[in-house]
Amino acid sequence: MEMPVSSTARRSDAARAKGTIAGGEASLEASLIGTVAPLMRHLVAHARRRRAWSELTYQQYNVLRMIDTLGPQPQAEVARRLLVTAPVVTRLASTLADAGLVARGTDPNDKRAVVLELTATGRKRARAMRRDLLEAARELLEPIPEERRASVATALEELQVLLPTHSARR
C-alpha cells in the first residue's frame, strides 16, 4: 500500500534532486546523487506493485535479467557485473534455484566454477519483470511533456558513460 506524499515532502525531495548543498548552491554532483538513487527506488517500488515482482527483489531480478540477456553465466561473472561479492551472488542464486528460476551447473572448462542458467520458468519471470519495469517507467515518464522527452533521453544517454560496463564510444 502506497502512502500519500505531502506537498512539503515533494518539495523537500525536489530540493534534494536539484542538488542543493550546504551553501544553498546547486552542483551537478549533488544533483546526480539526489536524483538517481531516489528515482530508481521510486521506479522499482512502482514495478513491485505488479504480480511478476511478488517475492523477488531488484537484485534477484538483475541476476535473472543478466542471464536472460547474456546466456548462462559463471557466478563470479554475475558478481563482477553486479558489483557485489561472490557470497552475495551465492545467496541470490540459492534463493532463485529454490524458487525454480535458476539452475546451477558446472563450467566444462573449470569444474570448480558454478554456472547459472535460467529455467523455462525463470526466463518467463525475467521477461515479465522486464515488461513490468518498462511499464512502470512509462507511467513515471508520462508527466514529462513530449517536447522535453528528447532532452531527457539525451541526458540519460550521456549518463551511460558513468556505468562501469560502458564501452568507450567517444
- pLDDT string in tens for the chain (170-residue length): 444 444 444 444 555 445 454 555 578 889 888 988 899 999 999 898 988 898 899 999 999 999 999 999 999 999 999 999 999 999 999 999 999 999 999 988 888 899 999 999 999 999 999 999 999 999 999 999 999 999 999 999 988 888 776 544 43
Same domain, 59 and 7: no
Query: What total of structural domains would you count in the chain?
Result: 2
Q: What is the DSSP letter of 130?
A: H
Residue 107: how many CB atoms within 10 A of its CB?
14
Instruction: Let me know if residue 134 belongs to a domain.
Output: no
Whether residue 90 contacts residue 82, with contact meaning beta carbons closer than 8 Å, is answered with no
Same domain, 117 and 65: yes
Same domain, 61 and 99: yes
The domain boundary residue, chosen from 86, 106, 125:
125
What distance in Å separates the CA atoms of residue 49 and residue 42, rounded to the nearest whole number?
11
Instruction: Let me know if residue 11 belongs to a domain.
Output: yes
136 contacts: CB under 8 Å, gap ≥ 6: 43, 44, 46, 47, 50
Same domain, 7 and 37: yes
Same domain, 62 and 103: yes
Q: Residue 86 sits in which domain range?
A: 54-125
Same domain, 69 and 120: yes
> 167 in helix, strand or coil?
coil
Instruction: Let me know if residue 155 belongs to a domain.
Output: no
Instruction: Let me know if residue 132 belongs to a domain.
Output: no
